[in-house]
Amino acid sequence: MKEEKILDLIGNIDDRFILEAAPAEKKVRMRVPAGRLAALAASAVLCLTAAYIALTYPEKTDTVGDCAENSETALTGEESGDSGAPVIVYEAAGDSEGSLEESIKSVTITPVYYTSLNMPATEENSVVISQAGGASSMIDVTAFDESVLSRDKCCYIVEGDVVDLYVKYYNYDIYDDKFGENEIMHSSASTVVYEVAVNKTWYGDDVSGGTILVEDALYYADPVFSVRKGGRYVLPVYEYGDVIWTDIHEYAGGDITRDSLYSTVYPYHPQISVTTDGFYLVPKEWKTLTAVNSREVIMDNLDEDNFYYKGEMCLVDADTFAVQMAALASSIE
């Protein structure tokens, strides 16, 4: 990764957010088929989807931005009057006389408050949280963008329930010349392991119905967004390897065998979480996934003025998420 200060790129992360440092946009254009019937049908689907979301999560008066600000072509964001709520304007593609004017539809996509979301009941892992409190807050990482999926050779994007979460401790020896030639130094490390019951495989060989372990050298210990037992998440993972060892030192003995081959592609920010009624809470950094038909989530449960993700989360319905995820998956090299 190119080194940049995390405080400049992904917000203020302090000691309580980090367990241990890990070793070491593609915009989707959704074009509507030509013709009046196709335009009207797609417009009706958009209206019904927006209406369902509005009924599920009623509007609260506030002035906010638009999560779908990245959309182009058929879907564009505009502000509506004094309310400040984003409006999605649907435009039909095609040259049929009169079809464009008759098929233009406007749907107001209102923001939603985090406290109104139907989030699953989760368990906080006190061991992980206590471990996170003592690690360094200065980590050099690049800000997330979707190209990291290809760069880090993402092999799976899975959706599943975290049925267990635990810390694994490693104690091993290395050869080091710091105090003398080939002196043995005792070392230790710890990781966090997620046991995930996979409900759906969005990318990669289908592992739905099974259980996989994901082992990370860093735990994002945020009080709201940390991965917890009982939660459902969409996790992109890559094959890290079967040992924690790196080429920095020569191995001299001890436990370095990981519980899992897999690690989270980008553990430095919130993972995509799923509500109990099937909506997806997605960071705006997933530009493809939040490009259209998404609602801004107001983090009304947070008091910190400088909290980075206070205005950076979107709510996406299941149908839109599936279409956008398919587009994203097809772009992974």
Q: What is the pLDDT of residue 53?
A: 55
pTM of the model: 0.70
Q: How far apart are the first and last CA of the chain?
A: 18
| pLDDT-derived band at 68, boundaries 50, 70, 90 | low
- pLDDT above 90: percentage of residues in the chain: 42
Extract the tokens encoding 257.
Answer: 């065998």
Compute CA distances 173 → 50, 176, 220, whole Å: 58, 9, 28
Among 55-59, 202-206, 208-212, whose mean pLDDT is lowest? Answer: 55-59
For 263, the 3-state DSSP assignment is: strand
Q: What is the pLDDT of residue 103?
A: 45
Pair 66, 83: CB distance under 8 Å: no
Cα 63 from chain centroid (whole Å): 25
Task: Enumerate residues 6+ apart whose C-beta is below 8 A from 180.
Answer: none
Extract the tokens encoding 42.
Answer: 């797609």
Task: Give which of 160, 146, 87 is closest to 284, Cα–Cα.
Answer: 146
Question: What is the DSSP secondary structure assignment for residue 237, as one 8-state letter?
Answer: E
Q: What is the pLDDT of residue 130?
A: 73
> For 5-58, how does the pLDDT look when each residue is reduced to its tens digit (9 = 90+)?
433 444 444 444 444 444 434 333 334 344 444 444 445 545 555 555 555 565
Q: What is the pLDDT of residue 56?
A: 58
How big, in percent rounded to 5, are the helix, strand and coil portions of the chain? Answer: 20, 30, 50
Q: What is the pLDDT of residue 254?
A: 87
Is 294 a residue whose pLDDT tops 60?
yes
> For 102-161, how does the pLDDT look when each residue is reduced to its tens digit (9 = 90+)?
444 445 578 999 999 999 999 888 878 776 654 444 456 678 999 999 999 999 999 999
